[in-house]
Amino acid sequence: MMMGSEMLRGIRPATTAGSRDAYVTLVTNADYAMGATALARSIGLTGSHADIVVLFTCGVDAEALDPLVALGCRMVEVEHLPLSEDFNQRHARGNLHATAPFTKGRKPAFHSPLDNFCKLRLWQLIDYKACIFIDADAIVLKNIDKLFDYPEFSAAPNVYESLADFHRLNSGVFVAQPSLATFEAMLKTLDQPGVFWRRTDQTFLESFFPDWHGLPVFMNMLQYVWFNLPELWEWKNVSVLHYQYEKPWEIDHPKAAALKPLIDLWQAYYSGEGIPEIGALANPAKTEAA
């Protein structure tokens, strides 16, 4: 069993905590730093007083992180988890995409599956009572501070193609309670001989927390709902908009035309200019019943 000080290795906070609760995101390259900038600005506009913590890996250029520092984020440098070479090989981008290809959408070139496991370092942030993790490719459209009082592990379902997917977890938004004991248990469970987590942290967390608590889809509205399940989309209800697969800062990606209203909204949050009244936005055209 590791001692407490050993379990805090691999994280280097630049400042002390300013709150007992925190929004947490992960930045592993300059692209996700752009995403996190829009995310941090969106959280700030909701009036939340919780800390905004950015976990970032050492390969991210300091210049890319400057906008996050300017927005008052608490910067915490993190190392990749101490995983075996076999584990790293199985989950490297080329091997993972070949073994478990993404057939529903396109992952951008800067997507590195192994980076996703750095999310687990959230459980080392023991100066916080509760954390809401949000992927850097998301924006928050209304105050969701009430989730800090929700139990661990709460997450929204991975619904974007079919209503049959409500039993599947999406790890783009979740509620957690930092704990070194939990983090140690995760490390022991994560890297077992031959194990393969086909959707990295998402599959692992669903397995580690089999009795996870479901949040409404509006707490993690996946962008593909816009054209696959438009009957679920009501702007007045959407709390978090998650740009899974193609990213809104990519130029002319394959779904750009279909997702233009969502891309325009992200661009407004990223620039901080022309942010519209969310409830006044037009909902997608509903699919006619057969």
| Chain segment 94-150, per-residue pLDDT in tens | 777 777 676 666 666 656 888 999 999 999 999 999 999 999 999 999 999 999 999
Which residues span the domain enclosing 187?
4-280
Residue 287 within a domain: no
- Residue 257 has a pLDDT of 95
When pLDDT is averaged across residues 193-203 and rounded to a whole number, the result is 87
* Assigned token pair, 195: 């194990």
Residue 289 within a domain: no
pLDDT, tens digit (0-9, with 9 covering 90-100), for 251-281: 889 899 999 999 999 999 999 999 999 999 9
Residue 285 within a domain: no
Number of domains in the chain: 1
Residue 231 within a domain: yes
Percentage of the chain lying above the pLDDT 90 cut? 78
Residue 290 within a domain: no
Q: For residue 234, give the CATH number of its domain.
A: 3.90.550.10
When pLDDT is averaged across residues 15-32 and rounded to a whole number, the result is 97
Residue 286 within a domain: no
